[in-house]
Amino acid sequence: VSLSKPVRQAELYRSVASIMERPHDMPFLSHLSLHHATVTSPRLGLSVLLAEDNTVNQEVARGMLESLGCQVVLAANGHEALAALAQGSYDLVLMDWHMPQLDGFATTQQIRAQERQTGASRLPIIALTANALEGDRHLCLTAGMDDYLSKPFTQEQPLAVLQRWTSPHMS
């Protein structure tokens, strides 16, 4: 797949979606059999809430998470994330910190306040950010988030974070 600049969001989305549907067509996987790729991928079996407003980012992250055996629910802003949390149970939240209506910081603060009020156990919240500046980690931790992933990320990066925050000793 090739794209010409400037790339329109719809065009990028279609290209990424078509690649995600056909992983065997990706050049860097052509030497692997699909069976081999499936066998070596860990099956985490986690329920993940992905709070992300960008549709391309949603699809890319969802594809990565589902390939790791995660069940993914999408929320396009903080209000949708809070509603999803009220409706279901999740092992972890991946929270974009730049979202419309209610950003990731404010959403996280509401989640933490609700946990304190109800006595619920702490839900791991991992910030997703395109910013990778010195001090970003501190901002996330101060807001009540537990960790962060800088976008774009490879498949190995969310795998490491998911394993770190959902391993049995973290409960």
pTM above 0.75, yes or no: no
Of the candidates 61, 74, 45, the residue with the CA atom closest to the CA atom of residue 166: 45
CA–CA distance, 22 with 16 (Å, rounded to integer): 10
pLDDT, tens digit, 9 for 90 and up, residues 28-84? 333 333 333 444 556 789 999 999 999 999 999 999 999 999 999 999 999 999 999
For 45-56, give one letter per residue: b (16+ CB within 10 A) or e: ebebbbbbbbbb
What stretches of 121-166 show up as alpha helix (H) in DSSP? 136-142, 156-166
Note the Cα 43 to chain centre separation in Å. 16
pLDDT, tens digit, 9 for 90 and up, residues 115-169? 999 999 999 999 998 866 777 778 888 889 999 888 888 888 889 899 999 876 4
